[in-house]
Structure 1
Amino acid sequence: MSDAAGIYARESTYLDRCVQVGIAGDRVLSVSFPGSLAAEADTEHPLLDRLFEYLEGAPDDFEDIELALTVPTDQRAVLEAVRNIPYGEQTSVERLTRRVPDFDPDADDDRDRVRTALDQNPIPILIPDHRVRDGPSAAPPKVEQKLRSLEGL
């Protein structure tokens, strides 16, 4: 990945929205889906190329992409577990909770912590919260549905 820091975005006809990534050095800080291109956004970046190949149906797990997660430790543990859900597979909040160290899938508080982490995920697609079928996604609902459809979920 390029070492250039900044905001990179392109319009996606598949999503009917833009895909915007925030990058610092060689790490991704954010992925979002604004309705229009930000004036300061550059449209050229290798990660955007990969994201758009994914949106055209090319499977990609993005596991080699370095992320800069600035979230609380318990949310980080949840998001790391989400990142390990393979392309084209899905899980439930309960099963995801089982994968997180020191979380009890039978505890309402822990399932709520999982849902909070999913809802506040700063890097959807690269951390594929759309693969958790009964949890919230940080992506807008129409984007989440299109990502699920793309992967046959």
Structure 2
Amino acid sequence: MNTTGASGVFAREFDALGRAVEVGFAGGRVISVSFPPETPADAETDHDLLDRLGEYLRGERDEFAEVAVGLTVPTDRRDVLEALRTVPYGEEVSVSRLTRLAALDPDDPDDLELVTGALNENPIPVFLPDHRVQGGPYATPGEVREALRRIEGL
């Protein structure tokens, strides 16, 4: 199914995670990702991005770099999350390194607080891969994060 430009909520259960992935779209942009225990009854299950996610969870390398996202967060947090998106598949960074990637000072407590806040409130886990950050915090639930790290060999 070609779902370019779709709006709505799409979800599917994935054995690799032992739960569903629910993706919210507005105007074809991903605006939210969550991990409910099962597919919500009101969610559509047929979406190209869910197909790709299933392939990724089966071990196919995918960085989802061209997936359009719609971030509705303050600009400074957006900068952090966009820097997070540059961390390649199968690689991890420390919070300090992510802080530098976001052009912030890892020795400045306010900058570190900004980075950890952005990670903790990441609205689009997987596509903004907080599971690639050592020592978190994370928006991705622990068991999901561990599965994603295993898949990527981290």
- Structure 1: tracts of 5 or more residues without a match: none
Q: Distance in 2 between matches of 1:4 and 1:113?
A: 32
| % same residue | 55
Corresponding residue SS for 2:93: coil
Of residues 10, 19, 27, the one that matches 1:17 is: 19
Over the residues paired in the alignment, what is the CA RMSD in angstroms? 0.9
Q: Which residue of 2 aligns with 1:67?
A: 69
Q: Distance in 2 between matches of 1:142 and 1:4?
A: 29
Q: Normalising to structure 2: TM-score of the pair?
A: 0.95
Q: Distance in 2 between matches of 1:6 and 1:131?
A: 28
Displacement of 1:96: 0.7
Corresponding residue SS for 1:127: coil
Paired residues, number: 152
- The question of whether the paired residues in 2 share the 8 Å contact of 1:2 and 1:45 is answered with no
- Which AA in structure 2 matches 1:33? F
Q: Which residue of 1 aligns with 2:138?
A: 137
Displacement of 1:4: 2.2
- Structure 2: tracts of 5 or more residues without a match: none
- Report Cα offsets for 1:2-34 as digits up to 9, x if no partner: 222111001111101101100112111111101
Runs of 4+, deviation exceeding 4 Å: none
Displacement of 1:116: 0.7
Q: Which residue of 2 aligns with 1:109?
A: 110
Q: Which residue of 2 aligns with 1:51?
A: 53
Q: Distance in 2 between matches of 1:108 and 1:146?
A: 31
- Report Cα offsets for 1:44-94 as digits up to 9, x if no partner: 000000011100100101111110000011110000000000000000000
Q: Distance in 2 between matches of 1:133 and 1:20?
A: 25
Q: Which residue of 1 aligns with 2:151?
A: 150
Matched, 1:41 2:22: no
Q: Distance in 2 between matches of 1:2 and 1:40?
A: 20
- Report Cα offsets for 1:86-131 as digits up to 9, x if no partner: 0000000001111112x21111221121111001000000000100
Q: Which residue of 2 aligns with 1:122?
A: 123
Corresponding residue SS for 1:35: coil
Corresponding residue SS for 1:78: helix
Q: Distance in 2 between matches of 1:142 and 1:117?
A: 20
